[in-house]
Amino acid sequence: MESEINDNVHIFWKCNLHCISSLLCLIDKFYIEGSNQVLKSNPVCMTDLVKGESENMVHPRQLKIYSEKSLRGYPNVLYPPRANMTERELYPLPWGEVYPHRAVAATWGGLCDRLIFVVDNQSSGVPDQIGPFPFIQLDIELPQSKKDRNIWEKSWKMWKYVGTHHLNDAEWFLKIDDDTFFSPINFKGFVRYLNPFQPYYLGHTLLHLWEKLNVVFNSGSCYALSKESLRRLTPIFSKPQFLYPDASRQERGTKCFCLCMHRRKAFEDPAMGVCLHSLGIDPINTMDEHLRERFSPLREQSVSSIKRKDDFWYWKWKHKNIKQGKDSITTYPISFHFYKDKPMTYFTQLHKKYNAPEGVNGKIFKPPLIKPQRFLHGALPFTIDQYRNTLNPPKDQEYFQDEVYFLVVSSDLNATISHANAVVITRIKMVKTV
């Protein structure tokens, strides 16, 4: 069965507080090497946003005069850069292109209401901040390097930290890779019609693990949680079943990446999808009414050229009417990914192209033509239930059904038991444990 698209025009729904939502952007830096002194000697530029005359409009603040005291320790900071400034003038040291967090701070990072760079405690030379943006170092147990790639531990500890210490600081929380371009302007224009006190999980949805692993998730390059989603998610990371899985569960979870648990290795984005699904939180459709993408796990140029192949992971079981090529990018995209080379060059270009404030050159964020709905998919060769679970979830995987958690103890769906840490149970399903 193919998921339905509602083509009717609806009265728009919007946040019950204000139109300009607050964002906390988390930049996931895998590891950092370098000296604090070198970081501080590079300039940072950013744009401050203020609410315009209209509630629906924001615009760059005019030139702001920063005192010498406020720039102490950052002698080369330029607010804002000249329009004709060269990259060499902006980043005089030769390694300005190597460290993408510099490019983030110099372009779109200042458009977040809060921006935090997240690194592990095994990194050396980590500064307290770059410009006004802080770094936090997480207490990580597993080795962190390009070879080890124990990314999941860092990811869930990042969300636990933010959910514990910053839940009331924003309405939307985004995990963004440091090689991802992000448009805070376009994101705010999109989510102004979504209520952050509802459990939303936004991003580019991938379906290729659905049939075998019962996993649907948003690409880890850039995804967002509403305040309510983060509130529900945070307690999971303190539960004994998550922190201390037994040996057999640890082995299975490390191999399939399909269980919500602390483990080694990467594939943090499927793991996040599993943990959220256990709470009944699935990705919602983030495409526009023409089925054009807002979030992309690819570069802008790559999205424009990729051809549909239904057996390719990117296209697996996606809706048949999703656009291809240049037509696949929505008018005001939110993210592109994989700018590992020359991030300053690419981020600067994309920043100028996509982070123009609303009202410039006719830019306006109209109410969407379709209501919020769960992720779209094409015709499936396998059967799913009304909660979009496959009929044979992996053993030990938690999933959500009728406000009751179930823990699979067999590959047979009929052999399930109620989760010991379940929320209030409204219906009880009698099952046989195998």
Query: pLDDT tens across 228-272, in order?
Result: 999 999 999 999 999 999 999 988 888 898 999 999 888 999 999
Alpha-carbon distances, residue 313 vs 261, 269, 308, 318, 406 (angstroms): 24, 14, 10, 10, 28
pLDDT tens profile 372-393: 999 999 999 999 999 999 999 9
Round to whole Å and give the CA distance between 376 and 407: 26
pLDDT at 29: 55
pLDDT tens, position by position, 42-57: 222 222 222 222 222 2
The pLDDT confidence band at residue 31, using thresholds 50, 70 and 90, is very low
Task: Give burial (CB, 10 Å; 0-12/13-18/19+) of 64.
Answer: exposed
Angle, CA of 116, 121 and 122, to the nearest 5°: 130
Residue 291 CB: number of other CB atoms within 10 A?
18
| CATH code, residues 23-362 | 3.90.550
Beta bridge partners of 120: 138
Q: Where are the domains of the chain?
A: 23-362
Strand 23-28 relative to strand 172-177, pairing? parallel
Q: Which of 93-97, 114-118, 191-195, 218-222 has the lowest mean pLDDT?
A: 93-97
Strand 49-51 relative to strand 58-60, pairing: antiparallel
Q: Under a CB-based contact definition with an 8 Å cutoff, are residues 171 and 15 in contact?
A: yes
Instruction: Give the amino acid at 169.
Output: D
- For the cut 60, the answer to whether the pLDDT of residue 78 exceeds it is no
Whether residue 80 is preceded by a cis peptide bond, meaning omega within 30 degrees of 0, is yes
> pLDDT at residue 312 above 90?
yes
Burial pattern 110-119, b for ≥16 Cβ within 10 A else e, equals bbbbbbbbbb
Q: What is the Cα–Cα distance from 304 to 287, expressed in whole angstroms?
A: 16
DSSP strands (E only) in 107-157:
114-120, 129-130, 133-138
